[in-house]
Amino acid sequence: MDDFSTRMTNLELERFSVNDYRGLDDAPAFQLRTGKLPVIISAPHAVSQRRAGKVKPSDDFTGPIAIVASELADCHAVMATRFDECDPNWDPFEQCRYKQALAAMVREQSIVAVIDVHGVPSASPYAVEVGSADGLSVSAMPGADEFARDFLAEELAPYLAKHGKTIALNESHAARGANTVTNAISRECGIAALQLELATPFRVPQSIGGHTPEGEAPPFSEAQLPKEISSRRNPDPTCVEVTVRAIAHLATTLADFKTLDKDVR
Ligand SMILES: [Zn+2]
């Protein structure tokens, strides 16, 4: 196991999957990491959360992805670190301290873009699904969503072929809901926000078992289970590393997006 996936796995085990995916009892509900680049990488589902009265399993490894990608890009990050009674991608802004803290950070640090990272099952036809609420969340940076789709398609090309997946924009996970982090932060703060939904082979570098909190429904259907088990038993750590580096590279590019010549994009 190489250093990159060992580091990601240790972070996941120590801070996110610990305590049955609820995070450490004495951790704050979320943590901020500051950097120099005016972009925030967000992982609101890094631990399990309560959504509409039920426990929703975490998007595993999205916490380590936010930490490592923000270190590589020297940008900011925010990630859920303990089970909270609120789901940042579901509950209204007024009832959600995660989104309020994220908005405060956007204003204090003159942030220009937020990348909100999530996870979907291996059965997804997409390696990464980019969501911009049909362009609404990138009103402040027109074209950033199409750019992100094309950029990821290029950076991940060999792994898209290997895993038989493509990059999508605004398909089944488009962040259209008014309370998604992407939609709410772009609206509240007037900046660009993009949601990235990463499929299991592009997110999980090592099998650590479990994944679903004790007694809870798994975040995939029974029909999707064989493919999910196979991806988790045969992880592709290099694919995950390339994906994390691509997210960091995307953050760096978005920080300069306004100054890029449209023809060069
Ligand atoms: Zn999620």
pLDDT tens-digit series, residues 50-68: 888 888 899 999 999 999 9
Is the model's pLDDT at 196 over the cut of 60?
A: yes
What's the 83 CA to ligand 1 centre distance in angstroms? 14
Q: Which band of pLDDT confidence, cut at 50, 70 and 90, is reported for residue 188?
A: very high
Which residues crowd ion ligand 1, with CB under 5 Å?
45, 59, 118
Distance in Å, CA 119 to ligand 1 centroid: 6
Sign of the Cα torsion 80, 64, 107, 87 reads: negative
Domains in the chain, please, with CATH? 3-258 (3.40.630)
CA of 90 to the centre of ligand 1 (A): 10
pLDDT for 264 beyond 50: no
Instruction: Find the range with the poorest average confidence among 44-58, 199-213, 224-238.
Output: 199-213
Give the pLDDT confidence of 129-159 residue by residue, as tens digits: 999 999 999 999 999 999 999 999 999 999 9
pLDDT at 263 exceeding the cut of 50: no
pLDDT of residue 1: 53
CA of 238 to the centre of ligand 1 (A): 23
Complete DSSP assignment for 28-72:
-SEEEE--SEEEEEEETTSS-EEETTEEE---TTHHHHHHHHHHH
Q: Which two tokens stand for residue 202?
A: 């592009």
Q: Tell me the CA–centroid distance for residue 264 and ligand 1, in Å.
A: 33
What separation in Å is there between the alpha carbon of 59 and the centre of ligand 1? 5
251 CA distance to ligand 1 centroid (A)? 19
